[in-house]
Amino acid sequence: MIRLDEQVAIVTGAGRGIGRAHALLLAERGATVVVNDLAVEADGAPRAQLVVDEIVARGGRAYASTHNAASESACAELVQWVDRELGRLDALVLNAGLTLFAQGEQSLHVGQGFSTADLATVRAQVELQLMGVYYLGQPAWALMERAGYGRIVLTSTSAIFGYRGDGSYGAAKCAVLSLARTMSAEAVAKGLDIRVNVVSPSAATNLGSGNGMHDRYAAGFSGRNTPENVSGAVLYLASRECAVTGECLRVGGSYVGRNFIAQTPGWVHTGDGALSPEAVMAHLGDITAEDGYVVPTDAEDCMTFMMTRVRDALAPTP
């Protein structure tokens, strides 16, 4: 059984929903969990404290944090506290997220597409879901680098495939796929056992309920579309046993798959002169055909693939 005894984990946005399930499972498997959530319930109780109380009632160890995961200074303060009080950080689960649909305003489904998006909202999305990876990730990385070990789990979404009602949500969370690969490569280059992966979850929670999406899928998922059915994958990625880095697992309703960014074999212009717009028009089918696609490991790998395609196409036929 995978255990995290003696380990310390931070889970952001863990006061409810998917993050709460992550925190409960990590604590059940032995980790000391820092439950982070900036929200306060109507009666004044910090949401994070309620989850800490649940963990403690089940015999686990946890601490509440109300730091804002979208604030550079608050994130630095949180990691300093963890270092000072707990002395280590083994796993960082960046789960806090923000979608307009959490507010239950269906009219935003069209209004927050691209053409009329409110830029203050776009900035808030990017601030939490992209910049937040730096805000918490950089100080956390320093602790992990000191220990030579760490696990970081970022959170994405199916909205990376396009989400008419909330484009900035999908855009910010698509960026973390690239970032996870860059962070992974840095760890490998430095010989550190730091693994960075992404989970793209789906679960019927408050978030997403505003556009009725979860209601439409509830029956099809046979009631399995729960936060608990996401957390097993996250705990694996947050554990010593995690054997992958730079990957994105799509998880929900007890399904687990993989999301990746790929490149088609494409088409090579071998004639004289520069590639013409007409050639692109004529070969669009070859250019976009998905058969034989590759999944480059990084920018160099992508360039090597293109170069090889050109070299092979230009090679004289025997």
Ligand X SMILES: NC(=O)c1ccc[n+]([C@@H]2O[C@H](COP(=O)([O-])OP(=O)(O)OC[C@H]3O[C@@H](n4cnc5c(N)ncnc54)[C@H](O)[C@@H]3O)[C@@H](O)[C@H]2O)c1
- Least distance between ligand X and beta carbon 310 (Å): 39
Q: Does 201 participate in binding ligand X (rule CB under 6 A)? A: yes
Q: Does 15 participate in binding ligand X (rule CB under 6 A)? A: yes
Q: Does 112 participate in binding ligand X (rule CB under 6 A)? A: no
Q: Does 208 participate in binding ligand X (rule CB under 6 A)? A: yes
Dihedral in degrees, nearest 10, Cα atoms 249, 80, 85, 44: -80
Among 131, 203, 235, 237, interactor with ligand X by CB under 6 A: 203
Q: Does 229 participate in binding ligand X (rule CB under 6 A)? A: no
- The CB-nearest residue to ligand X is 97
Rounded (to 5) percent helix, strand, coil in the chain:
45, 15, 40
Note the residue count of the chain. 318
Beta bridge partners of 11: 35, 93
Scanning residues 145 to 184, which ones bind ligand X (CB under 6 A)?
A: 155, 157
What count of Cα atoms within 13 Å lies in the side-chain half-sphere of residue 214? 20
- Least distance between ligand X and beta carbon 50 (Å): 10
Instruction: Print the binding letters for residues 85-104 with ligand X: x by CB under 6 A, - otherwise.
Output: ----------xxxxx--x--
Residue whose token pair is 């798959």: 257
Q: Which residues contact 193 (CB under 8 A, 6 or more apart)?
A: 148, 149, 150, 187
Q: Pairing state of beta strands 149-155 and 91-93? A: parallel
Q: Does 248 participate in binding ligand X (rule CB under 6 A)? A: no
Q: Does 17 participate in binding ligand X (rule CB under 6 A)? A: yes
Q: Between 155 and 259, whose beta carbon lies closer to ligand X?
A: 155
Angle between helix axes 167-189 and 119-126 (nearest 10 degrees) is 30
DSSP state, residue 315: S
Q: Does 202 participate in binding ligand X (rule CB under 6 A)? A: yes
Among 19, 167, 170, 246, interactor with ligand X by CB under 6 A: 19
> Under the phi-then-psi rule, with left for phi > 0, alpha for psi from -120 to 50, and beta for the rest, what region is 246?
left
Instruction: Write down the catalytic residue from 169, 236, 255, 293.
Output: 169
Instruction: Select from 9-17, 145-153, 175-183, 306-314 the region that touches ligand X (CB under 6 A).
Output: 9-17
Among 9, 18, 78, 91, interactor with ligand X by CB under 6 A: 18
Query: 221-258: string of b/e by CB count within 10 Å (b at 16+)?
Result: beeebbbebbbbbbbbbbbeebeebbbbbbbbbeeeee
Q: Is 169 a catalytic residue?
A: yes
Q: Between 219 and 274, whose beta carbon lies closer to ligand X?
A: 219
- Judge contact between 141 and 150, C-beta under 8 A: yes
H or E element, residue 10: strand 8-11
Instruction: Select from 49-57, 108-116, 199-207, 262-270 the region that touches ligand X (CB under 6 A).
Output: 199-207
Scanning residues 28 to 67, which ones bind ligand X (CB under 6 A)?
A: 36-39, 47
Q: Does 280 participate in binding ligand X (rule CB under 6 A)? A: no
DSSP state, residue 207: T
Structure tokens at 78: 């949180």
Interface with ligand X by CB under 6 A: which residues?
Answer: 12-13, 15-19, 36-39, 47, 68-70, 95-99, 102, 128, 155, 157, 201-203, 205-208
**Residues acting as catalytic residues:** 169
